[in-house]
Structure 1
Amino acid sequence: MRDIVAGCCQFSIKPGEVQRNCETAEGMLLELAAGKCRLAVLPEMWSCSFPYPVLREMAEKTPAILDRMCKIALDKRLVIVGSLPEAAGKTIFNTGYLIDSTGRIAGKYRKVHLFSLYNEQRHFGYGTSAQVFSTSIGKIGMMICYDLRFPELARKMALDGAEIICVSALWPLVRIEHWSLLLRARAIENQLFVVGCNGCGAEEKITWGGASAIISPLGTVLAQAGQDEQSIVRALNPFEMSDFRKTIPCFEDRVPEVYNPYNADICGGDDIASRPEGDDIPL
């Protein structure tokens, strides 16, 4: 299996300026594609940021944006991930879209954990599921910003076969150390690749922190951006994940019935009573 070249498009999203943001994103995507990139991740709400008074108007522009992204994905043989506002009846969702290199939408993920500190729950509907999607480059899961603080979500995706988790975010500079640490933590504990793309630049009351990063299953920072607009790229070696899981078989050694006995049959794992303990543990 060949290495997969992955990249992040970190840029300053201008609130409500859909055309300008789309032009910026498209330029960065084409630049990555020219460098043989196969996976490109965009920030959270990359078309418009969070202009709540006109959020529905922004969401109504999303279908046309997706059509354009699908054409780019097909033309450049690129897998594209990023979050956009989605209108579904009376509800607006913060939705991550996964566009395969075939030019089709391979999956979507509605943000499950809405950030109450910023009152996101007043403007968005809650997502209710998280899936892993098969693509031309492997199995991918999606998370959006605040989701990163909830290890259960990443673990579910890992158990469902995710090889890469893509995180789209608008994470503030004031807590950027948490962002960097959590990206590494999610990669290490699940022994998979994490590609996290954050926005950058300042809005009226907040500065976004940048620091987009590509993390290996061992927690190694393969590439990391600064605080300015830039793309980062790095090749992912699929064998690094499988080899590390053989060396330290965390998934085989799990005891899920201890963590959550009510969901042991869902999480998998052997009956704890059948496991050796004390002097019976083989050396």
Structure 2
Amino acid sequence: MQACTIASCLQFNIALGEIKTNLKKAEAAIRQAADQGAQLAVLPEMWSCGYDYRRLPELALATPEVVDRIGRLSRETGMVLVGSLPERQGDAIYNTAYVIDRGEVVGTYRKLHLFSTMREDRFLTAGDTTLVVQTSAGRLGVAICYDLRFPELFRKLALDGAEIICLPAEWPKPRQEHWRTLLRARAMENQLFIAAANCCGIQDRLDFFGMSLLIEPRGDILAEGGENDTVLTARFDYALMEDYRQQINCYRDRRPEIYGHLP
């Protein structure tokens, strides 16, 4: 295990349906994170276009080009980039997070839990597999936005060896305290690091509060965004994680024979 990972969250106002505009914002934020020494950068959910539902089949056609373009920037900076984009396969559209390590796509994760309150299930298809992948920035698990409300997913990622969970999101007002509380709880109960990148600003009728977070295994917040575009950076120290797991050994003290094994 490496000694640490310098991680960043890239928070910005996503222009609905405007891929070129959002790509420029993302590239500028990635370069800023690189200047801050980041090895890992997490972008928001659906960062290329937002939830422009009716145009998603069209907008998803640009995703391979978007991935290729930020892949070149990943290679240039030597960084691992994680963020979700619309992925089209046949007639299905997925909300897919791409993990790009120094120019190569080393893993993809399709959002498992679709937020029916916002009609995601009418326009998107849910994924059916989880992802933990070894990268140059550490062993990463990936979840997306509403997934945060399902602790069993995070426990599975932890049991599969995730050191950092990356969570792209579009989490709107007025549920700021749900966001903060759930993220801290997921970090504490699984004793790992979390890098959660939310968007900010107004899209259509939704107001996004930002508040991207970098959290360590004790639940302490290392960096937190406000409500405007920003790049947050913090150091994830793996020795701290190992020490904390030794102090409170939740993994050894689990009783899966009582409450059931995760599949």
Q: Same fold (TM over 0.5)?
A: yes
Q: Distance in 1 between matches of 2:203 and 2:124?
A: 20
Following TM superposition, the consecutive aligned residue runs of length 4 or more in structure 1 with deviations greater than 3 angstroms are none
Q: Are 1:79 and 2:73 matched, yes or no? A: no
Match of 1:177 in 2: 177
Determine the structure 1 residue equivalent to 2:231.
231
Kindly state the Cα deviation for residue 209 of structure 1 after the two structures are TM-superposed.
1.5
Larger radius of gyration: 1
Partners of 1:64 and 1:131 in 2: CA distance: 23
Deviation at 1:2, TM superposition (A): 3.2
The Cα offsets for residues 83-102 of structure 1, whole Å up to 9 and x where unpaired, read as 0000011100000111112x
| 1:97 equivalenced with 2:107 (yes/no) | no
Question: Structure 2: which amino acid aligns with 1:23?
Answer: K
Structure 2 partner of 1:279: none
Question: Could you tell me which residue of structure 1 aligns to residue 43 of structure 2?
Answer: 42
1:223–1:233 contact (8 Å) kept in structure 2: yes
Aligned equivalent of 1:130: 130
| Runs (5+) with no aligned partner, structure 2 | none
- Secondary structure, counterpart of 1:234 in structure 2: strand
The Cα shift of 1:204 comes to: 2.2
Residue 249 of structure 1 corresponds to 249
Superposed CA offset, 1:150-171 (max 9, x none): 0000000000000000000000
Contact conserved, 1:6 with 1:37, CA < 8 A, in 2?
Answer: yes
Give the AA of the match of 2:22.
N
Identical aligned residues as a percent = 46
- Partner AA of 1:190 in structure 2: N
CA distance in 2 between partners of 1:61 and 1:108 (Å): 17
Q: Distance in 1 between matches of 2:131 and 2:198?
A: 22
Where 2:232 maps in the other structure, the secondary structure is strand
For structure 1, the 5+ residue unaligned runs are: 268-283
Deviations 1:85-122 (A, max 9, x none): 00011100000111112x10010100000001011001
Q: Which residue of 2 aligns with 1:201?
A: 201
Determine the C-alpha separation between the residues in 2 that align with 1:256 and 1:2: 31
Are the equivalent residues in 1 in contact too, given 2:5–2:138 (CA < 8 A)?
no
**Matched residues in 2 for 1:117 and 1:179: separation?**
16
Per the alignment, residue 186 of structure 2 pairs with: 186
- Counterpart of 2:73, as a letter, is I
Corresponding residue pairs, total: 262
Q: Deviations over 1:177-215 (max 9, x none)?
A: 100111100000000000000000012211011000000
| Residue identity opposite 1:162 in structure 2 | A
Is the 1:173–1:210 Cα contact (8 Å) retained in structure 2? no
Scaled by the length of structure 1, the TM-score of the pair is 0.91
- Counterpart in 2 of 1:52? 53
Q: Once the 2 structures are TM-superposed, how far is the Cα of residue 35 of structure 1 from its aligned partner?
A: 1.4
* TM-score, normalised via structure 2 length: 0.98
Pick 1 or 2: higher relative contact order, CA cutoff 8 A, min separation 6.
2
Instruction: Name the CA distance, whole Å, in 2 between partners of 1:125 and 1:141.
Output: 21
